[in-house]
Structure 1
């Protein structure tokens, strides 16, 4: 692969990541809030309605045993206790995406849906650029050691790319998560203020809290790209039998390939995302990857380690489809414009 091809991969990856991040930012905020132990999205109380007889349940009418149960319960904490003026019926249901969006807009304003967008835009372009550039170079390296374009080549290449990208950009995502978890309506905390607070409290190492969970997330990247490359290879092989010309249909097929591969990968490796968000919260309750997963599972069950999965899938399908289609489109435009033979080599 020539230096020109590497630059094209770098630019295409950056543009693709930026476009996807802007379009899906509100869903990213909702997903992070659902994963967190502090948002309350997964245990907001349901206040009992006034019964038909007209009597209203209050602190005075709740029996002492009921009051003790409400105050001492560990599974449903502060949101239930706060609402004691109207007897609370605990709910284990997670608010759906629309309810979460409405809740954020009502209590924090519409701009809160874009909290963390600054660091996201700063980080997504270099992150995706680093990832795609490392992936293409690693693929070239592993093709020289292993059977060319075999599944193992894709696994090794994706692992290298994920490790490098996570190591270099983790501080940016740490700041983004902290900003997204800031639920104070009157908060004017900027990314720079967030950086200052983290550094003052924990130093440089504070920005790498949760990095282990990010490394565990490489498994998602591996599954994603193995499936994507397999589907893409089949599509390229099929089309070269009939025509060497690229068409708009090809880009839609790449979008579908990206969406399918990311959906499968997200379902398999999702718990690492919950652990990563919990580790990035303020406080010392969560200290390590396995400790976090164990604690969440113990206190919240299987549903706890899959908090926000629906939002993740709803977000990732358009995000990945847009990102992959944009990436392929930019690569095609640039290779056509600068006369490289990238697609010819892919077909062969």
Structure 2
């Protein structure tokens, strides 16, 4: 009996480790894919004075001309340090929450997927938020005006000069509020679309699992499409809170923007008062679609492929 319990514990531990690895790899691949667009988005969101008149393409050109091609990946090192534990925790938490919520709202309901996704997003962001603040600070810098020399310097400077650990969590509340619809809708939409493809369009979107289990798995093009649509829906709903988070994270880098550090609601109101909805709360939305759709598509696709490679996904049998 003791041997059986030990082997069961080891099996569960192995499954968790494999899920963490799959999630971490998916996060790193997807974020690196869109890193140049991510940097431009941050510069636009926070109204960097060097990019006030730029759009997506002109912003990329300006960065390459003034700072060099590698500057498009500025802050990506901090992003990789953050994204592996973030994505690993998010995807693994989702699998755990989904398992315990399965069937709670009925066999055909997908509400459990939304709640599992929202819970996974909250769990991951709570663990890794300081690294997101540091990465945003590094990405916001332009050549000749550097304040921080790297990840460690940014972390210690923010901690010492801006109020300790709370400074690293500035913008945390709008992030949590934005994470519920963003992560919840991302996972909900992906699982819903995945289920729909398998039930109604299996001949076009699916293939038999290579493990000969009789189950179906999504083909790569279908994975990308489902992931991309999920990202578009989720970003459309949660974007204003993402802008608020960025303004709060970057508020202390310029004396003229210190007022954005006061709180979430005052920051939201100030953005709306100063710039309105389109040029304020949804500033940078076009580039956000350009980065979010491929990012979420690549993230879900990479995760599902890694699961298949590590024998975590043996296919789904859908009743027609």
Measured against the shorter chain, the TM-score band is 0.7 to 0.9
**Residues 194-243 of structure 1: CA deviation (Å, up to 9, x unaligned):** 11110111211111000011111221221222111101112233476896
Which 4+ stretches in 1 moved above 4 angstroms?
238-243, 246-249, 344-348
Number of residue equivalences: 292
C-alpha deviation, 1:271, in angstroms: 0.6
> Conserved in 2, the CA contact under 8 Å of 1:143 and 1:149?
no
- For residues 129 and 114 of structure 1, what CA distance do their matches in structure 2 show? 22
Q: Greater Rg, structure 1 or structure 2? A: 1
- For residues 91 and 217 of structure 2, what CA distance do their matches in structure 1 show? 23
> Conserved in 2, the CA contact under 8 Å of 1:131 and 1:161?
yes
Match of 1:343 among 299, 314, 318: 314
Q: Which residue of 2 aligns with 1:269?
A: 238
C-alpha deviation, 1:344, in angstroms: 4.2
- For residues 84 and 201 of structure 2, what CA distance do their matches in structure 1 show? 31
Q: Rate the CA distance shift 1:327–1:210 in 2: closer, same or farther, 3 A.
A: same
Tell me the SS of whatever aligns to 1:217. Answer: helix
State TM-score, norm by structure 1.
0.78
Within a 5 Å distance, the mapping from 1:42-191 to structure 2 comes to 42=52, 44=53, 95-143=54-102, 145-148=104-107, 150-185=109-144, 187=146, 189-191=149-151
Q: Which residue of 2 aligns with 1:65?
A: none
Question: Larger relative contact order (C-alpha < 8 A, sep ≥ 6)?
Answer: 1
State TM-score, norm by structure 2.
0.84
> Conserved in 1, the CA contact under 8 Å of 2:223 and 2:301?
yes
C-alpha deviation, 1:277, in angstroms: 0.6
Within a 5 Å distance, the mapping from 1:215-294 to structure 2 comes to 215-218=176-179, 219-238=181-200, 244-245=208-209, 250-283=219-252, 284-286=258-260, 287-294=262-269
Name which of structure 1's ranges 165-174 and 284-293 shifts more when overlaid on structure 2.
284-293
Q: Which residue of 2 aligns with 1:14?
A: 24
> Conserved in 2, the CA contact under 8 Å of 1:108 and 1:184?
yes
Unaligned 5+ runs, structure 2: 1-7, 211-215, 253-257
- For residues 58 and 207 of structure 2, what CA distance do their matches in structure 1 show? 48
